[in-house]
Amino acid sequence: MNKEELMRRAIALSEQSVLAGGGPFGAVIARNGEIVAEASNSVTLDHDPTAHAEVNAIRLASRKLGTFDLSGCDIFTSCEPCPMCLGAIYWAHLDTIYYANDRKDAARIGFDDDFIYREIALKPDERHKKMQLLLPDEARKAFEMWQQNDEKTEY
């Protein structure tokens, strides 16, 4: 499948999702033009605030390929990834992100993607969400254990 066909599949998933009671988002992960996994948003259906189309597709693709590293795969998403999904895409090492609607389009229909992007750009004490450093000395031990573990699987 070419890029446009893969994006049209993501867009079709976004429309099917609305009809099924989910959010208006769909995503396809493909390798060399072949679909590895596809998913739609299931936040309300699964009672899971992290069940965005991109995260759902990454989980399915990783399980299918038996790896946490999706290098060599691209993602086609019906809307620009929110900060959570963008982070997940970086963690998954996906190659190229193709998107159709953008964060401003999502804001116009009531989604917080653009708001969260603007929050990230602020200093922690300027954000709406309160953040407080707590027990950093006690938390450091796990990091030292990780650093000293020669058997670890790095990611």
Question: Which residues are the active-site residues?
Answer: 54
The residue among 9 and 113 lying less far from Zn ion, judged by its C-beta, is 113
The residue among 37 and 82 lying less far from Zn ion, judged by its C-beta, is 82
In the bound complex, what is the minimum distance in angstroms from residue 72's beta carbon to Zn ion? 22
CB contact set of 30 (below 8 Å; sequence gap of 6+)? 1, 6, 36, 73, 74, 75, 76
H or E element that contains 109: none
Residues 20-59 that bind Zn ion (CB under 5 A): 52
The residue among 16 and 50 lying less far from Zn ion, judged by its C-beta, is 50
Residues 84-123 that bind Zn ion (CB under 5 A): 84-85
In the bound complex, what is the minimum distance in angstroms from residue 148's beta carbon to Zn ion? 35
H or E element that contains 36: strand 34-40
Q: Residue 6 — left, alpha, or beta (φ > 0 → left; ψ -120 to 50 → alpha)?
A: alpha
Of 64, 46, 49, 59, nearest to 89 (Cα)?
59
Of 104, 56, 42, nearest to 79 (Cα)?
104
In the bound complex, what is the minimum distance in angstroms from residue 149's beta carbon to Zn ion? 32
- Of 29, 61, 70, 82, which one interacts with Zn ion (CB under 5 A)? 82
Residue with tokens 């795969």: 73
The region of 2-10, 39-47, 81-89, 125-133 touching Zn ion under the rule CB under 5 A is 81-89
Q: Report the interface residues with Zn ion, using CB under 5 A.
A: 52, 82, 84-85
